[in-house]
Structure 1
């Protein structure tokens, strides 16, 4: 691998120089008032990124998986029932965690490549007249398949069913890169991490709790120590942690949020869409297909690219790393060997993306696929140069 080349994995993402410098700071006493000048602005800034005015933000030294555990252990009790769709590796892993914690699950199995079926959720919730279901778990952006699900539609389904369950959302590969509306969508727990849209190294689990979720913590019976939000709240009240915080990463989080807000959230989302659409145009020019089955579920942060039957897609990833020093993502779970993943989130530009597209083309040609060198690059270039005009013409037809 080469440190000079950008990475095209779905995370950790490329780290801007200013964020590396923000994380690289002298040791401070994390029990001194100085730490509060890092802690409180970070929590407030994340709240703004979530598009919330009321979410309680918790920042743990962990990863997105720790965020999942924070969500369920602070709000649920052993034997509680949760409703969840399994449509990719990361929704599957959340399910596995729930099972290990002794929760009962109603699992809606969905083909990998499809989004969460809000209509099916509505049917199940409507039938749950005893309100046995305590939480609905939704993976906003399934990192394994490049599929985004409509969280607003899921909230609508819950409201239409008149169901009081909490809505918990895995936004690990969407928050800070794609539109996420904590308040407007009625999200009760949102989970993300530092290493995706926030463009930082791994090490922070970032979780937002609604007032309803905070109320649930008062009666939750699952065991927790490290991830106890009440311990964390007591620490926050004194500008401290119940244990040692990741001070440098939190300082970087402040800078990351400042960068995002300076660019403008809507501009950040538009940039991700524009870059992603260029990647999609390249895939189609190669004559290949996405794992995501329809435009309404195309992710703007990850594209999982299907390769022809009988071809091991993982070979593209290993060849790119060994020959060109460029990192792509391998297929996971049900799509292992069937797709390779191009991550296009975080600190990325159209010019950087073109280098990734060109590398993927070289790898596929090297490995004998019927791909014309330059075809995907040209398609992406055409879109990056004239994309808005193209979309306007299509909309007018």
Structure 2
């Protein structure tokens, strides 16, 4: 291998570029994870995470990927044999369902159009049929990273409330957290799952479960809740809750990642939530204008459901999106997201979340345009200028 000058463009919809400020925060000596300094830091992290998630009762931090917290959400609130309703409109929704089946849950799949958001009306109709209240949880993905489609979580809560259904509402917000508005308490979400490596601008390695009092009551087998009897050890909320009260963990935590989390939360506070969301929306719109300018198609077909975190681009029939993606990596040192599952070779994904500004995005879009030229993907030449015109005027 030879040296490549400049920086690698990591334009995935996660992991995202880690800011220098976060890396510098992580470059500190490890402290005693049972000592008072550590406890004070962690209690501050819990408060910061509550602000990011939108005021849940508590946020559990696990040394894991977000996928680990898919499991934590299920085993802490449900029992083997419980029925869950999964709206499957993307690769990661389907993957969460596979976890549920492996854990002994009865997964009822509501197949959706991968190019469109979750349909609250269909969920409402199914809940109306569930007169015996067999469905214990509804599982949905807020922003489906594989397709670039965002769903209306508030409307889903309204569907549950319209039928006074007691099912827990569980949401995967892995790629939407800190990239698009998310209001857990206001939207009535019981468990939100997310991870460190996307909008939070950290390396992979931290998983989060933001939980409501209803979810905690289900876990504790409260007076009005059935007992959550799934086997659990590492992901058990009981031990975590006990130790978290003082800012500690029941096992050795990833201290340096927590240093980084402290820095990333401070950065998000300094920018402000509204400004963060507006920046992501602006960069996303510029990306979509570039895609349209190239004569390519956004995989998402609902203009109201387009993602602020990433854009999934559909190439023409008979063209190979994977070959284009690999050519962009080889020629221009840029990583774009691959097509997942049945979308392999049909789409590529442009991430535009995390620590990103206009010039960084324009560099990435220039790389895409050059990659289209060198790989033979049919396109028009106007994408880059369309994005530049929008960003200059915005």
TM-score by length of 1: 0.95
Distance 2:109 2:6 in 1: 42
Moved over 3 A (4+): none
Distance 1:136 1:369 in 2: 40
Give the deviation of 1:38 after TM superposition.
1.7
Distance 2:246 2:153 in 1: 35
Contact 2:148 2:306 (C-alpha < 8 Å) held by counterparts: yes
- Could you tell me which residue of structure 1 aligns to residue 353 of structure 2? 345
Aligned equivalent of 1:31, options 31, 34, 45: 34
* Equivalent position SS for 2:32: coil
Distance 1:88 1:177 in 2: 19
Distance 2:246 2:287 in 1: 47
Distance 2:328 2:387 in 1: 20
Distance 1:206 1:364 in 2: 37
Distance 1:371 1:86 in 2: 31
Aligned equivalent of 1:145, options 124, 144, 147: 147
Structure 1 position 307 matched with structure 2 position 301: no
Aligned counterparts, 1:40-79, within 5 A: 40-52=43-55, 54-79=56-81
Contact 2:173 2:192 (C-alpha < 8 Å) held by counterparts: yes
Give the deviation of 1:239 after TM superposition.
3.0
Q: How many residues align?
A: 385
Q: For residues 194-250 of structure 1, what are the alpha-carbon distances to aligned partners after superposition, in whole Å with 9 as ceiling and x for unaligned?
A: 100000000100111100000011221111111001111121234321110011111
Contact 1:365 1:372 (C-alpha < 8 Å) held by counterparts: no
Contact 1:112 1:334 (C-alpha < 8 Å) held by counterparts: no
Distance 2:5 2:266 in 1: 29
Unaligned 5+ segments in structure 2 are: 221-226
Give the deviation of 1:5 after TM superposition.
3.1
Give the deviation of 1:132 after TM superposition.
0.6
Structure 1 position 22 matched with structure 2 position 25: yes
Structure 1 position 216 matched with structure 2 position 218: yes
- Could you tell me which residue of structure 2 aligns to residue 394 of structure 1? none
* Equivalent position SS for 1:7: strand
* Equivalent position SS for 1:217: helix
Aligned equivalent of 1:241, options 239, 244, 249: 249
* Equivalent position SS for 2:334: coil
Aligned equivalent of 1:319, options 304, 317, 327: 327
Distance 2:28 2:310 in 1: 32
- Could you tell me which residue of structure 2 aligns to residue 329 of structure 1? 337
Distance 2:27 2:73 in 1: 30
- Could you tell me which residue of structure 2 aligns to residue 155 of structure 1? 157
- Could you tell me which residue of structure 2 aligns to residue 13 of structure 1? 16
* Equivalent position SS for 1:330: coil
Distance 2:274 2:65 in 1: 26
Contact 1:2 1:326 (C-alpha < 8 Å) held by counterparts: no
Aligned equivalent of 2:185, options 162, 183, 186: 183
Give the deviation of 1:3 after TM superposition.
6.6
- Could you tell me which residue of structure 2 aligns to residue 116 of structure 1? 118
Unaligned 5+ segments in structure 1 are: 388-397
Distance 1:343 1:196 in 2: 10
Distance 1:2 1:157 in 2: 53
- Could you tell me which residue of structure 2 aligns to residue 391 of structure 1? none
Contact 2:41 2:247 (C-alpha < 8 Å) held by counterparts: no
